[in-house]
Structure 1
Amino acid sequence: MKIEWIEDFLSLIEAGTFSQAAEMRHVTQPAFSRRIRQLEEWLGVELIDRHSPRLALTPYARTYEPTMRDWLARLYAMRSRIRADAKHGPRAILTTQHTLTVSYLPRLLRHFRHRAPEARLQVRSSDRRDCIRNFQRGEADLLLCSELEGAPLFADREEIERIPLGVEQLIPVCAVDQQGQPLFNLGGECHLPLIAYDDDSFLGEVLANPYLLDVQRRFDTELVCETSFTIGIRELTLSGLGIGWLPHGLIEEDLTAGRLISLLDSLGGPKLVVACYRHPEAESAPLETLWQLMHDRPPSI
């Protein structure tokens, strides 16, 4: 099987016809058709429904097209990493959740660049659960994540090294009216629209009890949105849709500028610890350098 056959097949889907796809791939149409046939023969199934008057994929092709795209992207990414490592030397891989990628990671990266510009680092941003799984599988050298205060990850794994980098407050906030006052009045029997995290997400579990439960007991509440995307909750809160709990580092500028207002005194919120983990058996010069920099006065949370 040749990689170009997969590329041909994906080009055919994008072009919509054999003739246009052949032109995109800079081959004659008969040669292009032969390559699609060769891919089908290698797979043992037909990808194109040739009884249809227009280009139509078979059920197998529709099912596995995303997998083919993902496989091809991963293959080229691996080639790029191999070439970069061969040219510039090894690098450390850090995995972190989406929220920290926006709120804290930029400051940490500036710290790294200022103190050790030669230390190479690759960042992989994903859901917190996926980050933890990738780290446990050895697919990342470093794990940067948020934890509930007093409940560190891997508490039963003494061999995994941990550096606590700081504490971050999760703050309930809402947009403001034209007078700069909270858009939603917490006095009296008010109606509070809430923008919540999915129940099975980390922040959803952290807020469920006692914070969200307490708010639901005290006020007439309505769940207007439920999502696992912290950045999305920030945007919806700014739009005035409702009240959401957000990490201080993500909304520090919004609070300072008066676009959002804190309701922490009234509604409360948990504190999160931002920590970094590494496997002791993972060794490389960039990893050792970056790990030491996190010990040595890292930027505040």
Structure 2
Amino acid sequence: MKIEWIEDFLSLIEAGTFSQAAERRHVTQPAFSRRIRQLEDWLGVELIDRHSQRLTLLPHAKAYETSLRDWLVHLYALRSRMRADAAQGPRAILTTQHTLTVSYLPRLLRYFRLQAPQARLQIRSSDRSDCIRDFQRGDADLLLCSELESSPIQSDRTDIERVILGTEQLIPVCAADRFGQPIFDLESQTELPLISYDTNSFLGSVLSSPYLMDMQRRYNVELVCETSFTIGIRELSLAGLGICWLPHGLIESDLEAGRLVSLEALLAGPTLVVACYRQAGDNESAAGQLWRLMNERPPTV
């Protein structure tokens, strides 16, 4: 089987006719038709309904079109990674949760680029639990995550190292009115809308006690939304739909611009540690170089 046969078939779907697809692929129509036949012979199934006057895919061809596209994308990505690794050496893989990807990671990457431009790095951004799982399985060299100071992710393994990069507070906020004041008056209102984290998420568990518990004791709380998507919670808060807790690094510019107002004086919020872990290994590798920078003068959280 040749990769060009898959490319021919996908080009045929996009073009809509054999003649236009052959022109796109820079071959004659008879040669193009032969290549589609060769793909069908290799697969052992027909892909095109040749009894139809218009180009019509058979049902199984339609069902697997997306899979073929994904396979082709992954194959070319694999080729690119192999070529880059062969030419420049392997990359370090850093996995981090979505929130830190937005709030802290850009500053950290600029620091890496200035201090060690030759060190190659690949970022994987996922849910926090997925990041931890990938790191523990050995699928990532570095793990950047938020955690409670009293509950580090790894504390009993000698083959894993940890460095604290700083602390970050979860701040209760809501949107501001045109005078720069909170749109919800916590001093006089008894009913408050809440944009909350999924109770099974890390931030949901951190806030459940005592912060949400205290809020629910003092007010009649209406749950507007429950999600583990921190960026979405910020957007809903900016839209004035409720009160929520957000990491300071994510909303620093919103607070400075007056788009969001801190409610910390009345509701308070926990402080999180931002830490990085690494699988102990070769200090001369890309991961080793970046780890040294983590321990020197990384940007503040």
How far is the alpha carbon of 1:25 from its aligned partner?
2.3
How big is each residue's C-alpha offset from its partner over 1:147-196, in whole Å with a ceiling of 9 and x where there is no partner? Answer: 23321113343321111211111112111001110011112343322222
**Is the deviation greater in 172-181 or in 89-98?**
89-98
Secondary structure of 1:113's counterpart equals helix
How far is the alpha carbon of 1:62 from its aligned partner?
4.2
How far is the alpha carbon of 1:273 from its aligned partner?
1.4
Distance in 2 (alpha carbons) for counterparts of 1:260 and 1:84: 44
Distance in 2 (alpha carbons) for counterparts of 1:189 and 1:110: 45
How far is the alpha carbon of 1:214 from its aligned partner?
3.3
Distance in 2 (alpha carbons) for counterparts of 1:278 and 1:60: 45
1:39 aligns with 2:6: no
Secondary structure of 1:177's counterpart equals coil
1:115 aligns with 2:115: yes
Distance in 2 (alpha carbons) for counterparts of 1:46 and 1:209: 60
Contact 2:190–2:220 (CA under 8 A) maintained in structure 1: yes
How far is the alpha carbon of 1:250 from its aligned partner?
0.8
TM alignment of 1:280-291, pairs within 5 A: 280-281=280-281, 284-291=284-291
1:299 aligns with 2:292: no
How far is the alpha carbon of 1:75 from its aligned partner?
1.8
How big is each residue's C-alpha offset from its partner over 1:183-238, in whole Å with a ceiling of 9 and x where there is no partner? Answer: 11112343322222233333233333433343233322222233332222222211
Question: Residue type of the partner of 2:207?
Answer: L
Q: TM-score, normalised by structure 2?
A: 0.88
Distance in 2 (alpha carbons) for counterparts of 1:41 and 1:199: 53
* Alignment partner, residue 133 of structure 1: 133
How big is each residue's C-alpha offset from its partner over 1:67-87, in whole Å with a ceiling of 9 and x where there is no partner? Answer: 333322222222222222333
Distance in 2 (alpha carbons) for counterparts of 1:298 and 1:96: 16
How far is the alpha carbon of 1:51 from its aligned partner?
5.9
* Alignment partner, residue 97 of structure 1: 97
How far is the alpha carbon of 1:123 from its aligned partner?
1.9
Percent identity, aligned pairs only, is 72
1:66 aligns with 2:66: yes
How big is each residue's C-alpha offset from its partner over 1:17-76, in whole Å with a ceiling of 9 and x where there is no partner? Answer: 444333332233443333333333333344445566654544544443333333222222
* Alignment partner, residue 246 of structure 2: 246
Q: TM-score, normalised by structure 1?
A: 0.88
Give the alignment's Cα RMSD to 1 decimal: 2.5
Question: Residue type of the partner of 2:23?
Answer: E
Q: Which ranges of structure 1 fall in alignment gaps of 5 or more residues?
A: none
TM alignment of 1:151-190, pairs within 5 A: 151-190=151-190
* Alignment partner, residue 226 of structure 2: 226
Distance in 2 (alpha carbons) for counterparts of 1:260 and 1:216: 22
How big is each residue's C-alpha offset from its partner over 1:225-261, in whole Å with a ceiling of 9 and x where there is no partner? Answer: 3333222222221122222221111111111121111
Contact 2:283–2:289 (CA under 8 A) maintained in structure 1: no
Distance in 2 (alpha carbons) for counterparts of 1:182 and 1:238: 11
User: Given the superposition, is the C-alpha separation of residues 187 and 284 from structure 1 closer, same or farther in structure 2, using an over 3 Å criterion?
Assistant: same
Question: Residue type of the partner of 1:202?
Answer: F
Structure label with greater radius of gyration: 2
Q: Which ranges of structure 2 fall in alignment gaps of 5 or more residues?
A: none
Contact 1:207–1:270 (CA under 8 A) maintained in structure 2: yes
Question: Residue type of the partner of 1:2?
Answer: K
- Which consecutive aligned stretches of 4+ in structure 1 deviate over 6 angstroms post-superposition? none
